[in-house]
Amino acid sequence: MDVHHRTITVDGHTIFYREAGPSDAPALVLLHGFPTSSYMYRQLIPALGDRYYVLAPDYLGFGESDAPPVEQFDYTFDALAAIVDQLLDRLGVDSYAMYVQDYGAPIGWRLALAHPERITAIISQNGNAYEAGFVEGFWAPVWAYSTDPTPETEAAIREALSMEAIRWQYLHGVADPSLVSPDTWTHDYALIQRPGNDQIQLRLFRDYVTNRALYPRLQEYFRNSQVPLQAVWGANDGIFAPEGASAFANDLPNAEIHLLNAGHFALESQLDTITGYVHGFLGRVNSQSPVSA
């Protein structure tokens, strides 16, 4: 399966994306988490590209996309979602399933709320949408920094940008850590360490509280739309607890929920299992309501 690595100019910024599969197949948009990029989907893209048109962008400030300094771009989740929305418009993708993880969830939720008619299905891999999903020990410093951004609260949150913290995100809760390539955290750390990128990440940490505030509207969207949803969730995640996956069933009784013996980046140790679940889920969705990109 050929995977193409492309760029496109969106609102004056160069946005990088990975692409595979026939353009006339049902579209699947992969939205990455923190602190990574579309690199996290490097193995999933060819695994799904035989049946779907798969598209995985890097957000502004992440991966291979432009990263203008905070003085030149107001980094918020609203702004990042707007760039992805424009990217999809530019590429003519007006009907798609989305696969969201971590930061990809609030970006995907904004796309769904803006264009509910475009979303054919949702796969959430540790992409939170409920208060029940927050692991308090991890999130307390984020809420403190959002409420009161002082040198003290900033110092606590900066720990998330360290090599050790990024490595922890990949290895915590993984039954066999030897399955996870160290290329993952060294790759992410190198990009986070680019000059000025720390300020980008700090802006987004401060803005994360807006994602939490979005949950009531999002849950109403779930109830009203009954969008097909599958959760493939690393149950040992120290950031988003498995209760966040189970909570989808409160609003979407037909949600398919799979709790995996994995951590936050479940694809690194459960690629084949997740690929099988996604193929089965999207196959059922598309057989009921055929769509095309």
The torsion angles phi and psi of 113, rounded to 5 degrees, stand at -70, -35
- Counting Cα atoms < 13 Å in the Cβ hemisphere of 94 gives 3
The C-alpha atoms of residue 273 and residue 260 are separated, in whole angstroms, by 9
User: Which residues make Cβ contacts (< 8 Å) with residue 176, sequence separation at least 6?
Assistant: 269
Nearest to 232 by CA among 142, 126, 128, 90: 126
Catalytic residues: 264
SS3 state at 121: strand
Long-range contacts of 220-226 (CB under 8 A, 24+ apart): 221/112, 221/113, 221/116, 222/129, 222/248, 222/251, 222/252, 223/251, 223/252, 225/116, 225/119, 226/252, 226/254
CA distances from residue 286 to 26, 122, 176, 234, 262 in whole angstroms, order as listed: 8, 12, 35, 25, 28
Residues, the chain: 293
Backbone angles phi, psi at 55, to 5 degrees: -135, 125
Q: Are strands 53-57 and 13-20 parallel, antiparallel or unpaired?
A: antiparallel
- The answer to whether residues 76 and 83 touch, using CB atoms and an 8 Å cutoff, is no
Q: Determine contact, residues 233/245, Cβ cutoff 8 Å.
A: yes
Question: Cβ-count burial of 239 within 10 angstroms (0-12 exposed, 13-18 middle, 19+ buried)?
Answer: buried
